[in-house]
């Protein structure tokens, strides 16, 4: 169920999406959504279209235009002989050159019989004056010869990125009374067209454009029949298509230009429009009511749902939603003729909802404070166990401590949860009676019984300067401390010192009828530089004869002779000292590295380790006190040898 904050997030996220969708503020998201579609491929255009690109460099005078018209006439003869399906001139035949040349070209058009010419308009249309433009048709001699023409304009002025069919700026109109050049060409090829269709978006066909292309002059050298059944577009091409910023007439950008591709001429835009209309695959938006409902639905789900998650989980879910939305709507545009401005969701609603979830997190943190009365968690949990989490907290006096929470929901039934509580309750009174045990200061159990927590000493930081360095607090346990040493192992003399401290604590624990049950490097932490037995929630009373011990020992540290005994604690401690002094894994026992086996101090330590791990119980130390005495004897021996040497 949504909380008040989640409902607010849902409402605001929905409003954000609708604001971007229905106002000018969202134009950038809309355009970017369209442009991004072409980063994931597009439909194949087929080979029905051929573009002949004219070189328009140099001065445009009557002599040059007359020469081009003679070439056009010759080209029309070749295309007619080849059996071209249609010839489309994206060239405005306006000025008169010579009567003979114009008559020759008109005769070639008439003989071909399948020619579409370009018309122009006197001003660029916009939303307010599209109905008031004046047509500027081709010269009458050519218009009579061809009989078919269309406006050779694109949606926007030169240099801009074209996304829609002409006249795209007027969303309230379709083709109006003046059809585009692409429309006229598609109609001449028999396409069924609807002049009232509006809001038509171009479907581009890759960086190479629709179909094949040739330099204009190369068309004459093609083999006979090369243009059979082809629709041939003839028009100019930018002189510097690789320089989008250079201003040129008849030069436009496409979504591929944004990807490092070339700018294109208006001919390619018109050829793309033609192929869209011929194949009925121009892109169109979803119905307005459908987009509205979609944004409302995503606003509610994203805005409300992310608020219910923790910050990291919200971030991961948001990333997953981003890619899911992107893939879904890219697939929609590829497999259908519809597209949707998906970045309104993925780039508008989603970031807004994520920021809302993060900025309202303090309210959630306050609930955590109330969960631990008198203690304020600092940052994220510093440890996660099977039954709860460990937090670094600050108490009412400003002292930093560690707090471990145990949750009933983590257990299959209430019995082990109750045993955990009884265990820590039993351990607390003796925890401050020995310096080698981790002190428990406070135990709290919730009234409804769903969780309890206890507060204890905070271990030393692995990196003493972690706060100044902007790092993360990590407790310094025996495993991490050894990993920082040369060769990832501790000196034997230091292991002997640690062993004495831990055996003193273990002997005290055993004398009070309790066992630890899971001694290992990670469960030995340093407090003010002194090693202590940690993970005290595992400590239990020593089982009576015949009573079955619960299995909580870590593999590799578990005693082959049996669990839940004092000997098992001593065995686990011996394996712990083996891993710390050799750098080997626990599974390698009793193998020794070559260099270590040559050290006298280590070999004396190893003698104790081997005896504590003997496969026969009677061959081992009988108690922690006996094992402690052996350690002290070795330490005294080494100290005496060092003094004698000095």
Position 642 scores a pLDDT of 63
Distance from C-alpha of 19 to C-alpha of 445, rounded to nearest angstrom: 49
Position 127 scores a pLDDT of 40
* pLDDT averaged over every residue in the chain: 86
pLDDT (mean) for 247-253: 80
Position 359 scores a pLDDT of 84
Q: Do 270 and 179 meet the contact criterion of CB atoms below 8 Å apart? A: no
Q: Do 250 and 266 meet the contact criterion of CB atoms below 8 Å apart? A: yes
Q: Is the pLDDT of residue 634 over 90?
A: yes
Q: Is the pLDDT of residue 175 over 60?
A: no
pLDDT band, very low/low/confident/very high, at 646 (cuts 50, 70, 90): very low
Taking only Cα atoms into account, the Rg of the chain, rounded to an integer number of angstroms, comes to 41
Q: Is the pLDDT of residue 494 over 50?
A: yes
pLDDT band, very low/low/confident/very high, at 56 (cuts 50, 70, 90): confident
Sketch out the chain's domains with CATH numbers.
4-38+289-360 (no CATH), 47-280 (no CATH), 372-456 (3.30.200.20), 478-645 (1.10.510.10)
Max avg pLDDT among 41-50, 156-165, 615-624: 615-624
Position 227 scores a pLDDT of 94
Position 128 scores a pLDDT of 41
Position 172 scores a pLDDT of 42
Rounded to a whole number, what is the distance in angstroms from the first to the last CA of the chain?
Answer: 75
pLDDT (mean) for 33-60: 85
Q: Is the pLDDT of residue 125 over 60?
A: no
Position 551 scores a pLDDT of 56
Instruction: List, in order, residues 6 or more apart from 602 with CB less than 8 Å away.
Output: 492, 581, 582, 596
Higher pLDDT, 644 or 246: 246
Its sign, for the CA torsion 165, 171, 174, 179, is negative
Distance from C-alpha of 147 to C-alpha of 138, rounded to nearest angstrom: 10
Q: Which residues of 141-164 are buried (b: 16+ CB within 10 A; e: fewer)?
A: bbbebbebbbbbbbbbebeebbbb
- 269 alpha-carbon distance from chain centroid: 35
pLDDT (mean) for 450-472: 86
Range scoring the smallest mean pLDDT among 167-181, 242-256, 257-271, 485-499: 167-181
3-state DSSP assignment of residue 55:
coil
DSSP for 149-195, please give it. Answer: EEE---SS-TTSBP-B-TTTT-TT-SSTTS-BHHHHHHHHTT----T
pLDDT band, very low/low/confident/very high, at 415 (cuts 50, 70, 90): confident
Exposed, middle or buried, 242 (CB in 10 Å: 0-12/13-18/19+)?
exposed
pLDDT band, very low/low/confident/very high, at 3 (cuts 50, 70, 90): low
Label the pairing between strands 149-151 and 115-121: parallel
pLDDT band, very low/low/confident/very high, at 171 (cuts 50, 70, 90): very low
Exposed, middle or buried, 629 (CB in 10 Å: 0-12/13-18/19+)?
middle
Helix H segments across 376-439?
414-431
3-state DSSP assignment of residue 199:
coil
User: Which element (helix H / strand E) includes 51?
Assistant: strand 49-54
Distances (CA, A) of 97 to 35, 101, 145: 43, 7, 17
At 377, give phi and psi (nearest 5°): -60, 140
Position 373 scores a pLDDT of 87
Q: Do 184 and 82 meet the contact criterion of CB atoms below 8 Å apart? A: no
Tell me 271's DSSP state: H
Tokens encoding 389? 């989490």
pLDDT band, very low/low/confident/very high, at 420 (cuts 50, 70, 90): confident
Position 366 scores a pLDDT of 42
User: Which element (helix H / strand E) includes 415?
Assistant: helix 414-431
pLDDT band, very low/low/confident/very high, at 170 (cuts 50, 70, 90): very low
pLDDT band, very low/low/confident/very high, at 368 (cuts 50, 70, 90): low
Q: What is the pLDDT of residues 217-245, one digit of tens each?
A: 999 999 999 999 999 999 988 887 777 66
With tokens 């004396």, the residue in question is: 604
pLDDT (mean) for 38-62: 83
Position 30 scores a pLDDT of 93
Q: Is the pLDDT of residue 347 over 80?
A: yes
By percentage, how much of the chain surpasses pLDDT 90?
51
Position 1 scores a pLDDT of 46
Range scoring the smallest mean pLDDT among 29-33, 97-101, 630-634: 97-101
Range scoring the smallest mean pLDDT among 13-17, 192-196, 272-276, 348-352: 192-196
Geometric angle at alpha carbon 606, from 600 and 607, rounded to 5°: 95
pLDDT (mean) for 536-545: 78
- The DSSP bridge partners found for residue 201 are 164, 283
Distances (CA, A) of 136 to 91, 118, 273, 450: 13, 9, 21, 83
Position 198 scores a pLDDT of 77
Position 62 scores a pLDDT of 72
């Amino acid at each position: 169920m949504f909380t008040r904050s989640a409902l607010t997030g849902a409402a605001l996220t929905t409003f954000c999406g609708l604001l971007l969708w229905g106002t000018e503020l969202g134009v950038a998201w809309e355009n970017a959504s369209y442009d991004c579609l072409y980063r994931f491929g597009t439909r194949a255009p087929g080979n029905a279209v051929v573009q002949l690109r004219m070189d328009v460099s140099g001065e445009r005078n009557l002599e040059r235009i007359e020469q081009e018209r003679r070439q056009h006439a010759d080209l029309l003869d070749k295309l007619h002989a080849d059996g071209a399906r249609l010839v489309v001139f994206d060239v405005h035949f306006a000025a008169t050159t010579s009567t003979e040349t114009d008559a020759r070209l008109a005769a070639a058009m008439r003989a071909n019989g399948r020619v579409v010419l370009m018309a122009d308009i006197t001003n660029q249309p916009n939303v307010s004056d599209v109905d008031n433009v004046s047509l500027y048709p081709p010269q009458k001699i050519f218009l009579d010869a061809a009989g078919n023409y269309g406006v050779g304009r694109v949606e926007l002025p030169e240099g801009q990125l074209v996304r829609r069919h002409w006249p795209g700026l007027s969303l309230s109109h379709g083709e109006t009374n003046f059809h585009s050049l692409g429309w006229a060409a598609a109609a001449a090829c028999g396409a069924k067209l609807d002049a009232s269709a509006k809001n038509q978006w171009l479907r581009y066909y890759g960086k190479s454009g629709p179909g094949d292309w040739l330099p204009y002059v190369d068309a004459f050298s093609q083999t006979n029949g090369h243009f059979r059944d082809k629709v041939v577009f003839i028009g100019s091409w930018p002189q510097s298509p690789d320089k989008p910023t250079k201003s040129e007439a008849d030069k436009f950008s496409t979504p591929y230009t944004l990807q490092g591709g070339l700018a294109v001429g208006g001919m390619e835009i018109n050829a793309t429009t033609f192929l869209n209309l011929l194949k009925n695959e121009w892109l169109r938006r979803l119905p307005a009511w459908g987009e509205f409902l979609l944004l409302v639905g995503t606003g509610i789900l994203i805005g409300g749902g992310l608020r219910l998650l923790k910050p990291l989980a919200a971030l991961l879910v948001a990333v997953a939603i981003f890619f899911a939305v992107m893939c879904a709507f890219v697939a929609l545009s590829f497999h259908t003729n519809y597209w949707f401005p998906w970045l309104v969701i993925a780039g508008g609603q989603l970031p807004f909802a994520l920021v809302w979830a993060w900025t309202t997190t303090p309210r959630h943190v306050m609930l955590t404070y109330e969960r631990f009365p008198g203690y304020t968690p600092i940052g994220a949990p510093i440890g996660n166990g099977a039954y709860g989490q460990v937090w670094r907290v600050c108490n009412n006096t400003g002292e930093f401590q560690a707090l471990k929470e145990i949750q009933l929901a983590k257990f299959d039934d209430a019995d082990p949860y109750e045993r955990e509580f009884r265990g820590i309750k039993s351990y607390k009174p003796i925890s401050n009676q020995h310096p080698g045990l981790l002190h428990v200061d406070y135990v709290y159990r919730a009234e409804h019984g769903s969780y309890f927590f206890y507060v204890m000493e905070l271990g030393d930081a692995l990196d003493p300067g972690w706060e100044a360095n902007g790092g993360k607090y990590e407790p310094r346990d025996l495993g991490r401390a050894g990993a920082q040493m040369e060769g990832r192992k501790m000196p034997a003399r230091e292991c002997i010192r640690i062993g004495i401290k831990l055996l003193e604590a273990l002997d005290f624990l055993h004398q009070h009828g309790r066992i630890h049950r899971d001694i290992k490097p990670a469960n030995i932490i340093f407090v003010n530089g002194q090693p202590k037995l940690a993970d005290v929630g595992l400590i239990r009373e020593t089982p009576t004869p015949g009573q079955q011990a619960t299995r909580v020992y870590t593999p590799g540290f578990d005693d082959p002779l049996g669990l839940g005994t004092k000997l098992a604690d001593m065995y686990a401690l011996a394996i712990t000292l083996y891993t710390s002094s050799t750098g080997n894994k626990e599974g390698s026992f009793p193998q020794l590295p070559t260099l270590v086996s040559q050290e006298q101090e280590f070999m004396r330590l190893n003698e104790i380790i081997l005896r504590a791990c003997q496969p026969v119980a009677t061959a081992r130390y009988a108690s922690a006190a006996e094992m402690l005495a052996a350690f002290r004897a070795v330490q005294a021996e080494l100290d005496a040898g060092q003094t004698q040497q000095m």
